[in-house]
Amino acid sequence: MASNKPFPKSFGLILFPGFEVLDVAGPIEMLNRLARREGYHDMSLSVISRTTDPVNPGPIPPYTAGKAFLGNQLYLPTHTLESAPEIDVLLVPGGFGAFDLHKTNLEDYVQFIRDRYSGNNGHQPLQYIISVCNGAGFLAKSGILDDRKATTNKDFWNEVAAYGPKTHWIAKARWVNDGNIWTTSGVSAGADGVIAWMASLIPKELVDDVVNGVEWFRAKNADNDPFAEIFGRRDIAPVAE
- Write down the domain spans for the chain: 10-230
What are the pLDDT tens digits along the chain (241 aa)?
677 789 999 999 999 999 999 999 999 999 999 999 999 999 999 999 999 999 999 877 777 778 889 889 999 999 999 999 999 999 999 999 999 998 889 999 999 999 999 999 999 999 999 999 999 999 999 999 999 999 999 999 999 999 999 999 999 999 999 999 999 999 999 999 999 999 999 999 999 999 999 999 999 999 999 999 999 999 999 997 7
Determine contact, residues 133/20, Cβ cutoff 8 Å: yes
CA distance 26 to 116: 23
Determine contact, residues 19/55, Cβ cutoff 8 Å: yes
The whole-number pLDDT of residue 1 equals: 65
* Continuous segment of H or E residues that includes residue 129: strand 128-131
3-state secondary structure of 150: strand
The whole-number pLDDT of residue 14 equals: 98
3-state secondary structure of 74: coil
Task: List, as one string, the DSSP characters of 152-213.
Answer: --STTHHHHHTT-TTSEE-SS-SEEEETTEEEE-STTHHHHHHHHHHHTTS-HHHHHHHHHH
3-state secondary structure of 118: helix
The whole-number pLDDT of residue 67 equals: 86
Kindly list the distances between the CA atom of residue 200 and the CA atoms of 50, 87, 204, 238, in Å, as whole numbers in the listed order.
32, 19, 9, 27
Q: What's the fold here for domain 10-230?
A: Rossmann fold (3.40.50)
CA distance 72 to 57: 9
